[in-house]
Structure 1
Amino acid sequence: MSDPTTSPTGLSAPDAEREATAPSPAPDVSEAAGVLVDRGTLRLALVVGGLVLAVLLGFGLGRLNPPPAGPTGLTSAAATDHPHAPGTGAHEHGVVADTGGTTEVGGLAVGSGGWTLTPLSTGLTAGRAGEFRFQVRDVQGRPVTRFAVVHDKPMHLIVVRRDLTGYQHLHPRMAADGTWSVPLTVPQAGVWRAYADFTLVTDDGGQSARTLGVDLPVPGDYAPRPLPEPARIATVEGFTASWSGEPRIGATRPLRFAVRAGDTTPTLERYLGAYGHLVALREGDLGYLHVHPEAGPAVDGVTFQLTLPGPGRYRLFFDFQVAGVVRTAEFTLTAP
C-alpha cells in the first residue's frame, strides 16, 4: 500500500487540512509594510505622541488667542506693568510706530485716502475782506456731506502764512451741496496755507480723521519774517502764557500751559469743548501736528500730549478763552 499524500509542509493531507482550519493564536507582533512592530511598544509610542500633540496644540491656541487687552490697549500682563495716575489722558509711550521712529504729520497734501480738498474760490487780496469756499470730494469726485462734530464743530480751518505768521483758527459753514464757506481776510501778501481739519463719517458708519492742506497765493510784495527765538513765555493782550514739559522726538510727552493776568490766575473757559487748543506747525514743509488736550477742568493749566515727528523748529499756537474772548499765544520750539 502506498503512503498517504503529503503537503508541501510535510503534513499529510488530512493533517494539513486540520491545521489550516484550526484557529491561530494571537501573535505577539504586528506586521505592517514588511516591518514587524511589537504591540506594547506601539501602544507606548501612541500615548507619548498624543501627549506631545496636545502640548503643541495648546501652545498654538495660546498664540492665536492672546490674553485680553487692558484699558490701554495692551494685553493684561503688559497693562499691569505700567499703571497711570488717575485722570491721565490717553497717550502713547516710547517711539511711535511709524517709519523711522517718527509720527505722521498732516496737511502736507491736498488729498489723502481717496479724499481731496478742492478750493472753489481764488483771488484773495491782502488787507481786503474776502471769502474762502471749498469742498471735500471723494475718490469719484463727489462732494462729501457727512462729517462728525469734533470739538463742537464739524470743520476746523487753520490759515497761516508760510513764514508762520498771521495765524487764524476759523469755522466754515457747509451748504447742502457740501460747499464750505468762511469769511477770510489775510493782512499781507505772500503764500498762505489753509488746513482743513475734519472727521468724515464713512458709508459703514465709521469715522476717518483727516487734515488736508492747500496753498492760497496772495499777490504783492512778500517779505518773510524770521521765526522768533525759542521761548517758553509769550504775552498777548495783557495775558502771559507759559508752557512746561520736555518734548521728545518720536515719543509722546505732556506739555502744560498756564495763563496769568498780572498777579492773578484768570479762569479759563471752555472753548470748542475744551479749556484750550493747541496747533503745532513745522517750519519748512508746514507739517500739521494733531495735539490732544487732556480732559478735566483747567485748575492750574491745560495739558496736551505732543509727539514731535523729527528735528527742526516748530511754532506752537495755544488758543484759550477768558471772559468770552479767545486769544492765541505763540511760541517757538526747537527739537534737536
Structure 2
Amino acid sequence: MRTSTRVLGFLAVLVLVLGLGWAGGRWLGPDEETVAADEGGHGSHGSSQTAEEASDAHGSHGSGAEAAAAGLQVSEHGHTLTLAEATLPAGRQELAFTVEGEDGPVTAYDVAHEKQLHLIVVRRDLTGFQHVHPTMDADGTWRVDVDLEPGPWRVFADFKPTDGEAHVLGADLFVPGDFQPEPLGEQELSASVDGYDVNLGGGFVAGEESTLTATVSRDGEVVDLEPYLGATGHLVALRAGDLGYLHVHPEEDTDRAEFHTSFPSVGTYRLFLDFQHDGVVRTAAFTVEVEGAGHDHATHSHGEAEHEDEQEDDHEH
C-alpha cells in the first residue's frame, strides 16, 4: 500500500474517533443547570446569589439562612473590612479600620442594639474575647483600643449600612511573639466571673432552632440583670476551627437572658455572654458540643442537671 494511502486512512480514523469522543462528552457531561449551580455555589464575583439563597441551595436542614455561619469573608456584596494595620504589637493598642463600599469608606450606618457597629476581637484559639464599640472619624475610619497578646487574631465587624444589607465581615490580625494556643477542653455550660455564677441551658443540635437561656446568680441567689444593648444580655457564638460567627437574637422585653439561634453544623462552639449588673458589664464563656439529630442531647445547664439528680435521689429514698 502506498504511503499516502496509509496516511489518509489514519487521518480518517482519527477524525472518526475525535467525533465520537466529542459527541459522548456532550451526552455524558454536566448540563448547563449543574454548571450554573457549581459556579454560584463557589461564590464567583459575578454571581447575584444572596446569602440566604446560598444557604438554601446547600441544604441547611430546613433552617434557612439562620443556620449559616457569617464572618468567614473579608468582603461580600460590595463591602470590604479593611484593617489599617494587619500586624500590631502585643499590649493595649489602637485598632483602626474602615468598611469600604463601592464608592469608598462607608460613613452612614443604621443603629442596631443601640450601636452603629459592633466589633468582636478574639484570638484564634478562642481566648482574649473582646466586644467593643469603636468611634468613627468623619472620613469613615473606626478606632478603638483593644488588649492583644501574641498570636493570630480574628476581627469581626457586625454592621448595617444605611439603606443596605446587614453584614458580618471578618479579617485576620497578627500579633508577633511567643504563642501557645490554649485548648478548649470538653463541654462546659457553667462559668464563674467576678463572683457571679452563670449557667447556660438550651438545645445544642445542628440544624435546629435553639433557645438558649442564661441564669446568673451571686452567693446562691439569682440576680436581676440590667439592660445591656437593648436586652438582658448579648451572646456571641463562634465555631472552633474556622471561627464561623453565628447570628444570635436576644429575646427583648423580658427579665430573662434568653437567646435564639441555629447551629449550622456538628462541632465545638465557644459562646460568650455579656451581661450587666451593678452598672458593670462582665463576660462569661462556655464551650458547647453540638451534635446531629438523633443523639441524646443535654438540653439543660449544669446547675439544672444537678437539681434533677437531687430530685431523683430524694424520690428513690
Deviation at 1:303, TM superposition (A): 1.0
Cα deviation, residue 122, structure 1: 4.4
Deviation string 1:179-211 (CA, Å, 9 cap, x unpaired) is 11111221x200011100111113xxxx41100
8 Å contact 1:172–1:181 — kept in the other structure? yes
State how 1:314-333 maps to structure 2 within 5 Å.
314-333=269-288
* Correspondence for 1:101: 60
Gaps of 5+ in 2: 1-54, 62-66, 292-317
- Kept after mapping to 1: 8 A contact 2:130/2:146: no
Q: Does 1:219 align with 2:219?
A: no
| Equivalent pair of 2:191/2:286 in contact (CA under 8 Å) | yes
The equivalent residue for 1:176 is 138
Distance 1:280 1:98, change over 3 A: farther
Following the alignment from structure 1 to structure 2, what is the Cα–Cα distance between the partners of residues 244 and 123?
A: 38
Contact 1:270 1:321 in 2 (8 A): yes
1:295 aligns with 2:252: yes
Residue 118 of structure 1 pairs with residue 82 of structure 2: yes
CA distance in 2, matches of 1:99, 1:169: 31
- Deviation track 1:139-173 (CA, whole Å, cap 9, x = no partner) reads 34x01111001111101100000000000001000
Q: How many residues align?
A: 232
Aligned partner of 1:255: which letter? L
- Given that 1:247 and 1:254 are in contact with CA atoms closer than 8 Å, whether structure 2 keeps it comes out as no
Question: Map of 1:233-248 to 2, 5 A cutoff?
Answer: 233-248=190-205
| Letter matched to residue 204 of structure 2 | P
Shift in Å at residue 228 of structure 1? 2.7
Residue 226 of structure 1 aligns to a residue whose secondary structure is: coil
Counterpart mapping for 1:1-336 below 5 A:
97=56, 99-101=58-60, 103-126=67-90, 128-140=91-103, 142-186=104-148, 188-202=149-163, 207-298=164-255, 301-336=256-291
Separation in 2 of the partners of 1:242 and 1:110? 34
Q: Deviations over 1:214-264 (max 9, x none)?
A: 111000111111003102211111101111121321121211111010121
2:102 maps to a residue whose letter is V
Q: Work out the CA distance in 2 between the residues paired with 1:243 and 1:161.
A: 23
How high is the sequence identity, in percent, across the aligned residues? 47
| SS of the residue 2:59 aligns to | helix
CA distance in 2, matches of 1:98, 1:324: 45
CA RMSD of aligned residues (A): 1.4
Q: What letter matches 1:332 in structure 2?
A: T
What is the alpha-carbon distance in structure 2 between the residues aligned to residue 197 and residue 110 of structure 1? 12
Q: Which of the pair has more CA radius of gyration?
A: 1
* SS of aligned partner of 2:227: coil
Q: Which amino acid aligns with 1:162?
A: R
Q: Which residues of structure 1 form unaligned runs of 5+? A: 1-95
Match of 1:18 in 2: none
Instruction: Judging by fraction of residues, say which structure has more helix.
Output: 2
- Is the contact made by 2:123 and 2:151 (CA closer than 8 Å) also made in structure 1? yes
Instruction: Quote the Cα distance in structure 2 between the aligned partners of 1:174 and 1:287.
Output: 26
Instruction: State how far apart, in whole Å, the 2-side matches of 1:227 and 1:123 are.
Output: 25
Supply the distance in 1 between the matched residues of 2:222 and 2:147 (Cα, whole angstroms). 33
Q: Is the CA contact 1:231–1:331 (under 8 Å) kept in the aligned structure 2?
A: yes
Q: What displacement does 1:98 show?
A: 5.2
Change (3 A) 1:236 1:143: same
One-letter identity of the residue aligned with 1:119: L
Over 3 Å counting, the alpha-carbon distance change for 1:133 and 1:222 in structure 2 is same
Q: Secondary structure at the match of 1:101?
A: coil
